[in-house]
Structure 1
Amino acid sequence: MNKNRQLAVNSNILFRKWLNGTREMVQDTIFHSRLHKVNQKIRSKRMFFEQDVHSNYFSFYKKKDFFKENPVSYVRNKDFTNVLKKLKKGKYYPDIFLDLHGLNQYQARKKLGQLIAICQKEKMFCAHIMHGYGKNILKKQIPFWLSQHPDIVAFHQAPKMFGNDAAIMVIIEIHS
């Protein structure tokens, strides 16, 4: 044991000779900026604002007998009639689904605005909105809201495989 201690002392002396003339390195402390977190907060606030802006297009004032025909369909102008025909035939498959079951009109309006904002951000042009049967409040209100929004190209009652008259298929204009 005495030999081991002697070796440790000798190796310590050798080590100090080798390091003669060197100085101790100072560890710098790095403070990371919070800029990245601030940018994320700004982005999330901006996205929330954009979603809220889309829901402001929808008013609660309803004209009588505006969408009385069944099945419900709408096209913004005559240039998009071929899109409506394809939508009626079920040629489009929805990129995103929105379920509005159990929501009141105010919540549904917000969700509809969020859906349009997300579709434009993610470049999804076909959406599926399930409003259900219930008391037919949302069933009557949603086509009216969608017809007010400038980015809605066309919508039609969903095909049987997507919910028939308890859902609506929507084509949304994508801005590049």
Structure 2
Amino acid sequence: MKKERPKSHMIDDADLDLFRQSIAGATKYKQDTVRFEKAPSKPKLNELASQKKQHQSEFYFSDEYIPDIDTHGTVNYVRPGADRYLAKQLRRGDIAPELILDLHGLNKDRVKEELAALIHACKKQHYYCACVVHGIGEHILKHKVPQYLVQHPDILAMHQAPLEYGGKGAVLILVDLPQSNEFRR
């Protein structure tokens, strides 16, 4: 059964002849367009972002480099050329952390990514002090976290956290912000 078009959509013979005359010299179009592959799907984009984060964290944090800091006792580090008083301020809890990162249950590769992300977030949001809670456990992260942090060029100082921020299971870090001098003395 054929559907009938309403009269408003009917084309009269004069219009049809006019249309045919206007396209009389036209030739059939040849499709020679090159079609490229589709853009990467979201899982691929997430994978690329993950690889980029991993590459950035590996750039700063090496397992082979062992800095000359004591990770068996109280962790205490101030970048050469910085004020040694910063470590004392961290030890006493004079500077409160603005971000806290909990690393419980993470492996070393994931810890590197999270530390790089924490430092990036501190710089982006202009946070001067952060707390990294690594826990005590089997002392793997307790030793590795300070060794990783010392390698990063934006870490100004680090000290074992006071009891209220985690004690022996955490470290407070100061991130070097180029425009933030409000806490420095």
| TM-score bracket for the superposition, by shorter chain length | 0.5 to 0.7
Name the count of aligned residue pairs.
133
Number of the residue aligned with 1:76: 79
Classify 1:115/1:127 alpha carbon distance in 2 versus 1 (closer, same or farther; 3 Å): same
Higher helix share: 1
CA distance 1:120–1:78, change in 2 (3 Å):
same
TM-score with structure 2 setting the length: 0.64
Residue type of the partner of 1:169? L
Q: CA RMSD in A?
A: 2.6
- The alpha carbon displacement at 1:130 in A equals 0.4
Which of 121, 124, 146 lines up with 1:121 in the alignment? 124
Once the 2 structures are TM-superposed, how far is the Cα of residue 153 of structure 1 from its aligned partner? Answer: 0.3
The 1-side partners of 2:143 and 2:130 are apart by 18
Q: Which runs of 5+ in 2 are unaligned?
A: 1-47, 180-185
Q: Distance in 1 between matches of 2:110 and 2:53?
A: 16
Which residue is equivalent to 1:53?
A: 56
| TM-score normalised to structure 1 length | 0.67
Q: Distance in 1 between matches of 2:91 and 2:54?
A: 28
**1:110/1:102 CA distance change after superposition, 3 Å:** same
- For the residue of structure 1 that corresponds to 2:88, the secondary structure is helix
Unaligned runs of 5+ in 1: 1-44
Identity %: 36
Equivalent residue number for residue 165 of structure 2: 162
CA apart distance, 1:83:
1.3
- CA deviation after TM superposition for structure 1 residue 67, in Å: 2.1
